[in-house]
Structure 1
Amino acid sequence: MSKHNIPGAALITGASSGIGATYADRLARRGHDLVLVARDTARLEALAARLKAETGVKIDVVTADLTQKADLARVEARLRDDATIDILINNAGVSVAGAFVDQDLDRVESMIQLNIVSVTRLAHAAARAFAARDRGAIVNISSVVGLAPELQLAVYGATKAYVTYFTQTLRLQLSPNIQLQAVLPGATRTEIWDRSGSGGADKLDPAMLMEVDDLVDAALAGFDQGELVTIPSLPDPADFAAYDAARTKLLPNLSRNRPAERYKVSEPA
């Protein structure tokens, strides 16, 4: 599957539709057994039946709501205890439309639980299991929104900024034999638009909207090339490299024992 030739099964969250279901299709066709996780049992079972018939791989279905502690704990345990799983596709996520002051805070809290807490806990379970075997891959689905506060998706964007930062930091801490990838889609034709309350993907400029098959195929190509951060629509990877270089240029001066000169207040005469 990649430069590390990861052989095992893949656990995919949010696997009943959209990006997760497309990853399931592509990974099954690459010969990987699957553990499919989502809330919609009927959809999961229909997808599993089709992929089993078309590819012959082994597929287990796990019905779980990752915003619920008990369900999340069951999926964590599967990652810890199932030594056949070598790949985690941390895909489940949700958005909430509207300006922050107008949003329902219970929905916002549930979004944080799914987009941050579940991603973190599942990655932790996978990282520990993979570290013990010194192999594996963790793919975290982030978003370009996390790079662009100008898009004004205050909490959703912040959750995705977390996912990207989290993935980059894991790369510094885990063995090079454990592959890390943050995938940063732009606008993609999935059900997240309807569920967010934004009115659906069809309201978007078609020039900005990527089809889900193209998105996942590009993400897997980036994975095969060993990319840590994959932005499927970005034509020139040097642009992100320059962005990252500008960030790292700040590092020597982010923590010093004196304030910068511009913050020094003149003594009164």
Structure 2
Amino acid sequence: MPTPTVLITGASSGIGAVYADRFARRGHNLVLVARDRARLDALAERLRRDAGVQADVLVADLSDPAALTAVEARLRDDAAIEVLINNAGAALAGGFLDQGPDRIGQLIALNAVAPARLAAAIAPRLAAAGRGAIVNIGSVVGLAPEFAMAVYGGTKAFVQHFSQALQVELGPRGVYVQAVLPAATRTEIWQRSGKDVDSLQGVMEVDELVDAALLGYDRREPVTIPPLPDEAQWTALENARRAMLPNFAQSRAAARYRNRD
């Protein structure tokens, strides 16, 4: 079978650009999606020259419904695309009280609505074919409300849950779904959200992050957390969560909520 084409959002820089480089080295043709045409064109030209692959450019701001619709159409209609990398995302400066409803809505549209809609555009075709992959870039912030990044962390918690639930539904039909949870990574998201990345500790370089994520991809991990040293901690968290599931089906409130003493 021909090598599948990979569509990557947020491909003009950072994590998305490195994913493009790595998949091009593996011989995959690409569809590169982002807002910055000049950067996309330069990346596409380099990958065509260095890797000998086809690289199409699709300029789109995924927080804009019309642009999102155009990318959805490409995913539905282009049968060569069998891998979706949902990478585009952003963060906001300040705390929840400073961010305002319009900026919050735009962030949710980009970080949560767009990945879900793009996955919905390609998933029926992949499931019918019995192959393909959807990779969603989340964040460890989705596991850590203590960081007080309410909206950004909430969108990334959505990405994780969404990915794991999709894997339950689509995995038996031959479609692999991976959630990748980076911690602090050296990308432009920090500058755009008003933070100095050099003031942070434990910042991972983007090449190392993507190479680790791709190792998890090759192993078909449902959740890949490149900075986590002890995999047993994630396993323990998942086991504790699953242990609660049978206890949710109760016709009465738990005794501790029926006794006021």
TM-score, length-scaled by structure 2? 0.97
1:48-85 C-alpha deviation (Å, 9 max, x unpaired): 00111100000100000101111100000000000000
Separation of aligned partners in 2, 1:148 and 1:97? 18
Which residue of the other structure, out of 189, 193, 197, is the alignment partner of 1:196? 193
Q: CA RMSD in A?
A: 1.4
Which residue of the other structure, out of 84, 90, 105, is the alignment partner of 1:94? 90
1:58 aligns with 2:42: no
1:253 aligns with 2:247: yes
Aligned to 1:234: 228
The offset of 1:46, in angstroms, is: 0.2
Query: Does the residue aligned with 2:232 lie in a helix, a strand or coil?
Result: helix
Query: Does the residue aligned with 1:11 lie in a helix, a strand or coil?
Result: strand
Aligned to 1:79: 75
Bigger shift: 230-239 or 71-80?
230-239
1:214 aligns with 2:211: no
1:148-188 C-alpha deviation (Å, 9 max, x unpaired): 00111011000000000000000111143211100000000
Query: Does the residue aligned with 2:82 lie in a helix, a strand or coil?
Result: strand
Aligned to 1:152: 148
Opposite residue 169 of structure 1, the aligned amino acid is A
Separation of aligned partners in 1, 2:199 and 2:183? 15
Q: When the two structures are aligned, how many residues end up with a matched partner?
A: 260
Opposite residue 186 of structure 2, the aligned amino acid is R
8 Å CA contact retained: 1:40, 1:63: yes
The offset of 1:126, in angstroms, is: 1.3
Alignment gaps of 5+ in structure 2 = none
The offset of 1:129, in angstroms, is: 1.5
The offset of 1:97, in angstroms, is: 2.1
The offset of 1:200, in angstroms, is: 2.6
Opposite residue 186 of structure 1, the aligned amino acid is A
Opposite residue 153 of structure 2, the aligned amino acid is G
1:171 aligns with 2:198: no
Alignment gaps of 5+ in structure 1 = none
Bigger shift: 40-49 or 175-184?
175-184
Opposite residue 216 of structure 1, the aligned amino acid is V
Aligned to 2:15: 19
8 Å CA contact retained: 2:171, 2:177: no
Separation of aligned partners in 2, 1:168 and 1:36? 25
Separation of aligned partners in 1, 2:9 and 2:142? 20
Separation of aligned partners in 1, 2:188 and 2:259? 53
Bigger shift: 26-35 or 247-256?
247-256
Separation of aligned partners in 2, 1:241 and 1:74? 39
TM-score, length-scaled by structure 1? 0.94
Separation of aligned partners in 2, 1:266 and 1:20? 53
8 Å CA contact retained: 1:183, 1:231: yes
Poorly superposed stretches of 4+, deviation over 6 Å = none
Q: Percent identical across equivalent pairs?
A: 59
